[in-house]
Structure 1
Amino acid sequence: MSEMPHHAQFGYLVWVILFAAMFTWEGIGMLQPTDSYPTLSQAMGAAMRHQFGRWALFTAWIWFGWHAFVQNWHFLLRGPGPVG
């Protein structure tokens, strides 16, 4: 087995830090129910009130899904390549 490249390790570390920050912010917002720390659901609700916000969030969701899951897939039902 080959070792993971350093740039991939750095990328995973960045994602871990981003998700940890997001969950920490959400936790602070839920523990202190004031308007000074809005939760992620409150921010999404504010964006979803407007049609442009709904389209922007949908576009971001599709973009993230493509880059996270679909971009490097190999289609499973593809037949064998050319013989030769």
Structure 2
Amino acid sequence: MPHHAQIGYIVWAILFAALFAWEGIGLLHPVDSYPTLSQALGATMRHQFGRWALFTAWLWFGWHAFVQNWHFLLRGPGPVG
């Protein structure tokens, strides 16, 4: 595996760990003024534009994370010869 790919995985792991830690701390201490991710998403989802923006972000992330470099597994063999 290339070195830059390992760094990328480490950065993503740190980002997700920080996100889950923020959510956990926010849920353990609900009297603090810092909103949790679920509260921020709930506030965004109240408005139709927010729902469309989150849906668009979800599609964009899914495309770049999974589909962009994906090879169709059921594709038949290529031309012979």
TM-score for the superposition, normalised by structure 1: 0.88
Quick check: 69-78 or 13-22, which moved more? 69-78
What is the Cα deviation at residue 50 of structure 1?
Answer: 0.9
Q: CA RMSD in A?
A: 1.2
Identity %: 86
Pair 1:59-2:56 in alignment = yes
SS at match of 1:18: helix
Q: Could you list the structure 1 runs, at least 4 aligned residues long, displaced by more than 4 angstroms after superposition.
A: none
1:83 aligned residue: 80
In structure 2, stretches of 5+ residues that fail to align are none
Between the aligned partners of 1:12 and 1:76, the Cα distance in structure 2 is 24
SS at match of 1:72: coil
In structure 1, stretches of 5+ residues that fail to align are none
SS at match of 1:29: helix
TM-score for the superposition, normalised by structure 2: 0.90
